[in-house]
Amino acid sequence: MLNMDPLGVRVELLRTAPETGGELLEFDVIGRARGLLAQGHVHTAQVERLEVMSGAMRLVIDGRERLLTEGQSMEVPAGAPHSQIPAGQGAGRVRVQVRPAGRTQAFLERLAELCRDGEINRFGLPRPVAGAQLIRDFADTGHATRPPVAVQRAFAEVVLALARPRPYLFVDQWTVTAPTEAVFAAIADARSYPQWWRPVYLDVESDGPPELGKESRQHFKGRLPYHLHTRSVIVALDPPRTITADVDGDLRGRGTWTLTPAAGGTHVRFDWQVYADRRLLRVLTPVLRPLFRWNHNWAIARAMEGLEPYARRNVA
């Protein structure tokens, strides 16, 4: 039994595709279909036979409506736009046969998963990403009557592209006139950031000095009007050359600092791959990517201003 409460029905599989060699899928729909299940749709290459076992149903085929009551049945030709709408009062039971079976069972099982996972809204319609995935995966065998299937596919691709996280990749390099050990000490110990990386870092908490596996928690902001909270864990540490941390929270990614002795000081390289996971940032990322890069550049400029004098003071 496939439970689809948000769609108003349960589906009982009677004869499956494996049992019939793909010739037939037979199932009963029990309840009062709503939302997605009551919308107009097309089966591209399948014939559908509907028989009312109890209750009543309005069947609309190519704009012509028929009322089916208990014991009555009708076939829907392949490619014919149609909709099945509950009639009368109370729950009904409709027996459906689909020939050939195609991928209808997989579609029904997907709907049951979406209902279970809260991906069907209060109107009985899939949420945007779930709906786009349905179009992507099943539009070749069945799809909504409107808009044209080519438009549905294009819209689904846009939704899925926007939902797919794309990382920001930043590489920043500069030279600090200070010994490598002092520069590394400042970078490795995140607790020092509010002292030299101002006004970006507002607060950093950590259980102690930098060690492999050590965790710290950061509160920071850039020029854009929002504050971010993250948690970082040191995953690689090679003093005084490199340190790598994995970050999650409002931002998710990995940052690696690489220090190399240079004439008169230390060459600093920061590799930062980050995903914007806060919902607002995730939605706006495709539109505001250049603005986010500008925000990053501003923050790194503050690091360039503060790191050198802080490291030199520590040496002194």
Instruction: Say which DSSP state 37 is in.
Output: G
Residues 115 and 216 in one domain: no
DSSP string for residues in 47-65: EEEEEEEESEEEEEETTEE
Phi first, then psi: give them for residue 174, nearest 5 degrees.
Answer: -160, 170
pTM (whole model) above 0.95: no
What contacts 5, CB < 8 A, 6 or more positions away? Answer: 115
Residues 7 and 156 in one domain: yes
Residues 194 and 254 in one domain: yes
Residue 250 vs residue 72, higher pLDDT: 72
Across 233-259, b (16+ Cβ under 10 Å) vs e yields: ebeebeebebbbbebeebbbbbbbbeb
Distance CA 161, CA 150 (A): 17
Could you count the other beta carbons within 10 Å of the beta carbon of residue 109?
Answer: 13
- Give the pLDDT band of residue 144 (cuts 50, 70, 90): very high
Residue pair 306/198 in contact (Cβ under 8 Å)? The answer is yes
Residue labelled with tokens 């250049």 = 290
Residues 77 and 192 in one domain: no
Domain boundary among 136, 163, 190: 163
| pLDDT number for residue 275 | 78
Residues 32 and 114 in one domain: yes
Give the range of the structural domain holding residue 149, as residue numbers without chain letter.
Answer: 2-163
Domain boundary among 163, 191, 209: 163
Residues 141 and 207 in one domain: no
Mean pLDDT of 221-240: 92
Mean pLDDT of 12-28: 96
Residues 17 and 132 in one domain: yes
Residue 303 vs residue 251, higher pLDDT: 303
| pLDDT number for residue 131 | 95
Residues 221 and 118 in one domain: no
Mean pLDDT of 167-184: 94
pLDDT at residue 276 greater than cutoff 70: no
Q: Can you give the CATH number for the domain in which 300 is found?
A: 3.30.530.20
Instruction: Quick: pLDDT tens for 178-212.
Output: 999 999 999 999 999 999 999 999 999 998 899 99
Mean pLDDT of 53-82: 96
Instruction: Quick: pLDDT tens for 108-121.
Output: 999 999 999 999 99
Total structural domains in the chain? Answer: 2
Residues 213 and 290 in one domain: yes
Residues 264 and 174 in one domain: yes
Residues 7 and 149 in one domain: yes
Domain boundary among 117, 141, 163: 163
Burial category of 123 from C-beta neighbours within 10 Å (exposed 0-12, middle 13-18, buried 19 and up): exposed
> Among residues of the chain, what percentage have pLDDT more than 70?
95
Residues 172 and 296 in one domain: yes
Q: Can you give the CATH number for the domain in which 80 is found?
A: 2.60.120.10
